[in-house]
Amino acid sequence: MTMDAMSRSRYARHWLWLSVLVILADQFSKWLAEASLSAYQPVPVIPMFNLTLAYNSGAAFSFLSDAGGWQRWFFIALTIAVVTMLFSWLWRMHAEERLHALSISLILGGAVGNLIDRIWLGHVIDFLDVYYETHHWPIFNIADSAITVGVVLLIYDLFVNDHGEHKDSD
């Protein structure tokens, strides 16, 4: 392994701590939501925000949630493939790609957080309920928030920062 490859692996491990933090915060918050909320019973917190325990057997916005059960295995396989790709991407990053690494780490942590639910429970636990008047955004969780923030930062980074080709020396 070259010196550049060794420094990149240390760099990737540095960012994986953020992914682990997202996973822990997500899993703890879901445990807390299940322990203290009743399913589909909103608990007002502030105007336009409730805590509402919900279960999603589909993907984002409950896509395919009523597909009969096969979607669980499809989303598990898809998430494992995406997590593998993200981990590999993070592992190959250079130290100057901080925003890129931040983005991938957030997405990776969120994906694994929801993957854990899907594997152990067969559905994802959601509990953050944002609304305006009678219009509710689909209920979501910390993992979904990390994925969303990560994707927004990644898109910003890809459009704003110059990512010239890096010479690989491994």
What DSSP character marks residue 39?
B
Spatial separation of the C-alpha atoms in residues 149 and 153, rounded to whole Å: 6
Burial label, 132 (beta-carbon count in 10 A; 0-12, 13-18, 19+): exposed
> What φ, ψ does residue 32 adopt, rounded to 5°?
-65, -40
The active-site residue out of 117, 129, 144, 157 is 144
Whether 144 is catalytic is yes
Whether 4 is catalytic is no
Among 51, 70, 54, which Cα is nearest to 62's?
A: 54
The active-site residue out of 126, 129, 168, 170 is 126
**Which strands make up the sheet holding 43-46, listed edge to edge?**
43-46, 49-56, 124-132, 135-136
The residues that bridge with 51 in the sheet, in sequence order, are: 43, 128
What DSSP character marks residue 164?
P
Spatial separation of the C-alpha atoms in residues 15 and 10, rounded to whole Å: 9
Annotated active-site positions, please? Answer: 126, 144
